[in-house]
Structure 1
């Protein structure tokens, strides 16, 4: 196998399965020559050897291996088949950014995703271009089920096929050890902030809890959610305050204390920065909107 190459794909929006199939070649056959396909092609080799080239780079893909061709790149056979060769192929489409490189490249989302309740901080799908399949029989079974669902006349077959395809991508994805450790720490930080949002939390508090320098914790959360711990905590507190304003009869002072603010005036200032309205105005505006909606329904 040649020098490792990786496809880093923005996974928001998620890749979409388009179509797939199973193809068999015999000795003396060649793979088709194409350069205008707009889809990625994921190939899961079942038997034989495939001699495939992409943009002048030759690859030999053997049974039990996977290979991915890039969209709108020239691919063709660089050698005739020397034996019976068969593989599953799946076309999938990506609307986000992607890049093929010798290393993993972080790719951000192309859509604006709220960070507070976004529990998938890594927005990049990493796939090896050419690699050995770890669980070939399981992957083949999942692929055959995708084809079966795709052929179903019921509408839910489409959604089942998409879900299974995402499962396949999860099965074959490459995990960045550094990013994995960062994500794990970020998840722990987020959980701690959510569980203790009504308490006084400082950089020193987090440093003692997680045994890391405050700057490292700030960088970690910022890299995975787009927010510093202070920003994350403040945003979470504001959402909790909003819920209490809408769903309880608690006073503004009671709500401020319940979400971790000692000073009612500071709470009011921060809430107005977050929503554009003071707490009392926010409650009144939401009450009027609910009343209006009720009148329209009746």
Structure 2
């Protein structure tokens, strides 16, 4: 598997367009496309995909991620010889991007005045074809992206975009400059955002990331200045606010959707943070 990298300018950010899941039977082929306008990101579950981009042939196997560039010729160079299954995402990039054998730092197409000292120049680096050690986690996020997108409402749109950015962070190629503590903290933070509606403890996080539970708290505090529990509470309440102001769902449903099984505890935590009960907050700030 020859190393090829996609370098993508992230100001503005890549944008999620659509996602899905496909199963091919033996003898079938991937669609033959010319000048398709979106990137295609694939996460292989089983089988083998024989895919070509222009004159370059690839074989994508289980546990691997593969990315097709937009506006190139994509086709099967060989039909499937077994049941083949993968998840896919289409995404769009307005800024500059390059595919090459090495990382390329790219400039933003947005002209940022020099007085904006703290606006970073961000280039996203992705392996075009790589084996992922966390393929199950990646597929789990892709499923959530699809569910949010399929909801067909304003909350679902923003959730899908946010989850997509989290996915890019999860699969990006790490640069040597990042310390192990920073990498761990970033992975924990992403996990908390992607699984905020589930029951999460430091012990569970320790098992997931194969470190002592104390290291979970230490890395988060050192990198972001906040404990995992405090971050999770803050994130859950922010998600609750989105739902309070953009839907008419009952308070009990919103509480359950953001990870609180006890609606009274949710209301108490919400009031401690915002100074108002969820119902009063909705009545005061809802523009509808």
Please report the TM-score for the alignment, with normalisation by the length of structure 2.
0.60
Quick check: 2:108–2:121 contact (8 Å CA) kept in 1? no
Alignment of 1:1-298 (within 5 A): 1=1, 3-114=2-113, 119=118, 121-177=120-176, 180=178
Shift of 1:116: 5.8
What is the RMSD of the two structures over their aligned residues, measured on CA atoms?
Answer: 1.7
Residues 1:147 and 1:118: Cα distance change in structure 2 (over 3 Å): farther
Give the secondary structure class of the aligned counterpart of 2:57.
strand
Q: Distance in 2 between matches of 1:58 and 1:86?
A: 19
| Superposed CA offset, 1:218-241 (max 9, x none) | xxxxxxxxxxxxxxxxxxxxxxxx
Unaligned 5+ runs, structure 1:
185-298
Q: Distance in 2 between matches of 1:148 and 1:114?
A: 39
Q: Distance in 2 between matches of 1:111 and 1:101?
A: 23
Shift of 1:61: 0.3
Q: Distance in 1 between matches of 2:15 and 2:118?
A: 21
* 1:208 equivalent in structure 2: none
Quick check: 1:104–1:176 contact (8 Å CA) kept in 2? no
| Superposed CA offset, 1:88-130 (max 9, x none) | 1100000000000000000011102356666563410000000
Q: Distance in 1 between matches of 2:6 and 2:163?
A: 20
Please report the TM-score for the alignment, with normalisation by the length of structure 1.
0.58
| Superposed CA offset, 1:202-227 (max 9, x none) | xxxxxxxxxxxxxxxxxxxxxxxxxx
Shift of 1:138: 1.0
Residues 1:118 and 1:163: Cα distance change in structure 2 (over 3 Å): farther
* 1:287 equivalent in structure 2: none
Residues 1:27 and 1:119: Cα distance change in structure 2 (over 3 Å): farther
Give the secondary structure class of the aligned counterpart of 2:72.
coil
Structure possessing the higher radius of gyration over alpha carbons: 1
Give the secondary structure class of the aligned counterpart of 1:177.
coil
Shift of 1:65: 0.1
Shift of 1:72: 0.3
Aligned residues: 180
Shift of 1:153: 3.1
| Superposed CA offset, 1:254-289 (max 9, x none) | xxxxxxxxxxxxxxxxxxxxxxxxxxxxxxxxxxxx
